[in-house]
């Protein structure tokens, strides 16, 4: 559609902005939806340090007392405080408050804080299961009946369609983590649009888009799908306005001051969190945008620094209270109740100016004013060109809180522009312009094991991929294994893509994120975001076969269930040794090349990530022994991490190895979770900050994409494992998000402790 951002429609609304835009530098953003242009023309980059920051206001402190109470109650209740059984929707619940007179920003997911909503539209089974597991009241009979007898859920639709090979791959856990049980969010709305333009202007654009499409002489199946979606989007916008009215806010018009901008943006975000079953519910790159409103209010004498920090503190409190109802099975994969409220900070503009504002500092400062917490998921778009003051502040807060991840803005910007944000953990997206068909991941190590076993699963012995011959000799030969692996990757990629096309067609139809799509351009860039797990073990296994001498061990049925390396030491991925690192690169590139050959629905561009979140533990549990010496059932290294204990030359060499995995073939992100003992970073606090900054600059300049930075002693984690009550607020970063350590499953805690710690 060439008519998106219908100019006349927006212009019409300018007449009714009544001073909302007064004081802003004008430009193309005034005649078409263009948040990036608004920011570029109005942002005030901050190149100083953090000394301007202030503490929390009394109002925030009073609110925090209540928040702590409700968090404690949730902890005491075993993690879930209760559920609201009315199926969630934008208008399903009456407005909820924590302590109304001390709240600057209104709105909760349900009528009470931490009371979780249910989303049976995505899948009835998981809702019932979760309520049962948490010992909560079951769904009312009429709700259950509605979603089993009359309405088709996303989950039902997917399983109605899945063919036999997909089901077999799912059962063998060669493809897993698929969002087919519930209606997961797949995009980050450009919530800023609601504050800048108001809902009425956004609606006019969508109405015009729909009218233009509907006026075609002939409608294809795709056109009809798009028409239906535009209808849903418009309805979503109406509901958003109604949500505003319920909270005393007129969202039909643009925000006129900073407090309104925060409130408008948050209500738009809240509508998304109410409508979708939200992993992930990212909020986008909002620091610089909201800072423009703060700066204008300050100039008008309406706001001081304390007031500005209060707005960020109060928004952060709301974001920390986001919850979803999850099953135990979910918790084993994605442990610790994460919600991925990813907020993107920093980054550079196309014109070479930094886009970090004072508010980017204020967001990080919430870790001090409110204390550390795992959400929102603080994500720095790191560029070597960012001001030193900001980089050093990031490093310091990272060392103090372990709540920060960095992603390479110098890689993201050329691809996605300077208004990109991270969705979920590591996925870069142009805000309001792109969405991601989230595809979980393929177990690449199991693919290798199946290749060696001729398509039989090394644990069950079942034939998962028919038509393949197993290795016949006693010793593995590199070229032979490589050829078999290539063939099995080709086959696995096909099954994987079938599964993704099915489940996302269903998701679009049955769990459509209408309000988030309404806050996007109608013409969207879509990606089909596949993923791989077990990369380090694949690389080390291939290296063992190539540079060592690997003998296979068979059971009585001829199934290869174990491997013995008789050839001595072999190079391992993670030491900046090209012999091993190139094998990791080869595996990632080869699988990506197979995926690229396949057609993804709605012309989505196929991408992949090397990211496991915490599912590396479960993947490992369901994968047999591998030629690299990893024992069956042992966790994989997370994401693109080197295997535990493989790194012999320190974290710089390890980072250089990870940085070799090319972003061009892992365009959905390459995740590295690195743990440093504080003492290994320097003798003084300042040295640690400086060295961590140098390290981040170096890693990024080598092409490293992402790093979770954990500065902590292993001894502290061991103590926290034994005495969780002593560490209720201890955060650690796992692959892609931050979590309270005590909320991890015991197996996940052990995994974090047994990771390579860089210590001296």
Q: Mind telling me the catalytic residues?
A: 424-425
Strand pairing category for 441-443 and 175-176 = antiparallel
- Is residue 690 near another protein by the rule CB under 8 A? yes
Binding characters for another protein, 574-613, by CB under 8 A (x = yes): --x-------------------------------------
The minimum distance between CB 665 and another protein, in angstroms, equals: 20
The minimum distance between CB 382 and another protein, in angstroms, equals: 14
Contacts of 101 (CB under 8 A, 6+ apart): none
- Is residue 653 near another protein by the rule CB under 8 A? yes
The minimum distance between CB 627 and another protein, in angstroms, equals: 26
Binding characters for another protein, 739-758, by CB under 8 A (x = yes): -------------------x
The minimum distance between CB 692 and another protein, in angstroms, equals: 9
- Is residue 69 near another protein by the rule CB under 8 A? no
> Residue 7 or residue 677: which is nearer to another protein going by CB?
677
> Residue 23 or residue 678: which is nearer to another protein going by CB?
678
Contacts of 510 (CB under 8 A, 6+ apart): 121, 122, 152, 153, 154, 157, 183
From CA 661, how far away is CA 675, in angstroms rounded? 20
Pick one of 695, 705, 742, 757: the residue that binds another protein (CB under 8 A): 695
The minimum distance between CB 578 and another protein, in angstroms, equals: 9
> Residue 517 or residue 695: which is nearer to another protein going by CB?
695
- The two tokens of residue 293 are 């409103």
Q: Contacts with another protein in 659-688 (CB under 8 A)? A: 679-684, 687-688
Burial 709-747 (b: 16+ CB within 10 A, else e): bbbbbeeebeebbeebeebeebbbbbbbbbbbbbbbbee
Q: Would you tell me how many other CB atoms lie within 10 Å of the CB of residue 176?
A: 20
Cβ(126)–Cβ(182) below 8 Å: yes
From CA 140, how far away is CA 549, in angstroms rounded? 62
> Residue 677 or residue 747: which is nearer to another protein going by CB?
677
Q: Which stretch binds another protein (CB under 8 A): 229-237, 290-298, 631-639, 691-699?
A: 691-699
- The two tokens of residue 523 are 């013409």
Beta bridge partners of 456: 463
> Residue 231 or residue 662: which is nearer to another protein going by CB?
662
The two most distant CA atoms of the chain are separated, in Å, by 82
- Is residue 398 near another protein by the rule CB under 8 A? no
> Residue 26 or residue 650: which is nearer to another protein going by CB?
650
Number of H helices, E strands in the chain: 27, 19
> Residue 79 or residue 682: which is nearer to another protein going by CB?
682
Q: Which stretch binds another protein (CB under 8 A): 490-498, 504-512, 605-613, 693-701?
A: 693-701
Binding characters for another protein, 518-557, by CB under 8 A (x = yes): ----------------------------------------
The minimum distance between CB 576 and another protein, in angstroms, equals: 6
Binding characters for another protein, 613-652, by CB under 8 A (x = yes): -----------------------------------xxxxx
Contacts of 516 (CB under 8 A, 6+ apart): 185, 187, 188, 189, 272, 275, 276
* CA torsion through residues 527, 532, 533, 537, sign: negative
- Is residue 227 near another protein by the rule CB under 8 A? no
From CA 174, how far away is CA 339, in angstroms rounded? 25
Task: Please provide the distance, in angstroms rounded to a whole number, between the alpha carbons at the two ends of the chain.
Answer: 59
- CA angle 70–74–77, rounded 5-degree value: 135
From CA 412, how far away is CA 575, in angstroms rounded? 26
> Residue 327 or residue 693: which is nearer to another protein going by CB?
693
Pick one of 144, 697, 713, 719: the residue that binds another protein (CB under 8 A): 697
State how far Cα 108 lies from the chain centre: 22
- Is residue 699 near another protein by the rule CB under 8 A? yes
- Give the binding site for another protein (CB under 8 A): 576, 648-654, 656, 679-684, 687-688, 690-691, 693-695, 697-699, 701-702, 758, 760
């Amino acid at each position: 559609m060439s008519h998106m951002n219908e100019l006349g429609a927006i212009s019409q609304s300018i007449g009714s902005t009544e001073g909302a835009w007064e004081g802003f530098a004008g430009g193309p953003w005034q005649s078409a939806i263009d948040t990036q242009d608004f920011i570029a023309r109005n942002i005030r980059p901050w190149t100083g340090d953090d000394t301007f920051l202030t503490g929390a206001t009394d109002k925030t402190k009073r609110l925090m007392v209540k928040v702590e109470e409700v968090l404690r109650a949730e902890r005491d209740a075993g993690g879930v405080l209760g559920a609201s059984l009315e199926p969630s929707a934008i208008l399903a619940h009456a407005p909820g408050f924590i302590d109304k007179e001390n709240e600057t920003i209104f709105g909760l997911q349900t009528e009470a804080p931490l009371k979780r909503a249910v989303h049976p539209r995505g899948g009835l089974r998981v809702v019932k299961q979760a309520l049962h597991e948490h010992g909560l009241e079951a769904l009312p009979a009429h709700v259950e009946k509605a979603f089993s007898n009359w309405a088709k859920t996303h989950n039902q639709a997917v399983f109605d369609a899945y063919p036999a090979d997909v089901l077999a791959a799912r059962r063998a856990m060669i493809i897993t983590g698929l969002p087919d049980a519930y209606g997961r969010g797949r995009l980050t709305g450009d919530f800023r649009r609601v504050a800048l333009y108001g809902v009425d202007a956004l609606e006019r654009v969508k109405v015009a888009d729909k009218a233009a499409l509907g006026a075609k002489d002939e409608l294809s199946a795709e056109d009809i799908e798009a028409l239906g979606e535009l209808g849903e989007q418009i309805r979503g916008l109406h509901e958003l306005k109604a949500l505003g009215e319920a909270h005393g806010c007129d969202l039909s018009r643009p925000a006129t001051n900073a407090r309104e901008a925060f409130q408008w943006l948050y209500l738009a975000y809240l509508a998304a969190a109410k409508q979708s079953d939200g992993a992930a519910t990212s909020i986008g790159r909002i620091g610089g945008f909201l800072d423009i409103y703060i700066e204008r209010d300050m100039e008008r004498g309406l706001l001081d620094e304390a007031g500005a920090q209060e707005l960020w503190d109060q928004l952060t409190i709301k974001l920390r209270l986001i919850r979803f109802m999850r099953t135990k099975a979910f918790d084993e994969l994605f442990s610790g109740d994460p919600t991925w409220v990813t907020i993107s900070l920093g980054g550079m503009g196309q014109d070479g100016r930094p886009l970090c504002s004072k508010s980017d500092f204020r967001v990080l400062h919430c870790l001090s004013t409110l204390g550390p917490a795992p959400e929102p998921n603080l994500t720095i778009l790191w560029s070597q060109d960012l001001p030193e003051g900001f980089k050093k502040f990031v490093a310091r807060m990272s060392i103090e809180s372990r709540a920060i991840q960095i992603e390479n803005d110098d890689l993201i910007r050329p691809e996605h522009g300077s208004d990109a944000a991270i969705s979920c953990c590591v996925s870069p997206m142009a805000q309001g312009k792109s969405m991601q068909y989230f595809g979980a991941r393929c177990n690449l190590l199991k693919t290798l094991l199946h290749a060696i076993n001729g398509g039989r699963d090394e644990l069950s012995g079942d034939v998962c991929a028919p038509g393949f011959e197993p290795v016949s000799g006693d010793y593995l030969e590199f070229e032979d294994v490589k050829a078999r692996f290539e063939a099995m990757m080709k086959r696995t990629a096909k099954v994987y893509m079938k599964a993704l096309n099915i489940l996302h067609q269903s998701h679009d139809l049955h769990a459509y994120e209408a309000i988030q799509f309404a806050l996007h351009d109608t013409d969207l860039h879509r990606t089909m975001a596949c993923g791989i797990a077990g990369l380090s073990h694949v690389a080390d296994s291939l290296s063992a076969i190539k540079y060592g001498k690997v003998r296979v061990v068979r059971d009585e049925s001829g199934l290869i269930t174990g491997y013995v390396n008789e050839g001595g030491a072999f190079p391992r991925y993670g030491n900046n040794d090209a012999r091993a690192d190139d094998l990791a690169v080869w595996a990632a590139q080869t699988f990506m090349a197979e995926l690229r050959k396949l057609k993804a629905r709605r012309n989505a561009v196929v991408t992949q990530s090397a990211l496991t979140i915490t599912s590396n533990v479960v993947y490992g549990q369901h994968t047999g022994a591998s030629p690299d010496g990893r024992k069956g059932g042992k966790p994989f290294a997370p994401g693109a991490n080197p295997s535990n204990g493989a790194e012999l030359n320190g974290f710089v060499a390890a980072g250089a190895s990870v940085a070799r995995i090319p972003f061009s073939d892992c365009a959905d992100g390459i995740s590295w979770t690195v743990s440093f003992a504080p003492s290994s970073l320097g003798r003084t606090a300042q040295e640690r900050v400086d060295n961590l900054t140098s390290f981040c600059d170096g890693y990024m300049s080598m092409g490293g994409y992402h790093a979770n930075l954990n500065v902590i002693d292993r001894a502290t984690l061991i103590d926290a494992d034994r005495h969780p009550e002593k560490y209720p607020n201890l955060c650690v970063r796992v692959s892609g998000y931050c979590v309270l350590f005590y909320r991890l499953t015991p197996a996940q805690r052990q995994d974090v402790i047994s990771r390579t710690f860089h210590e001296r």
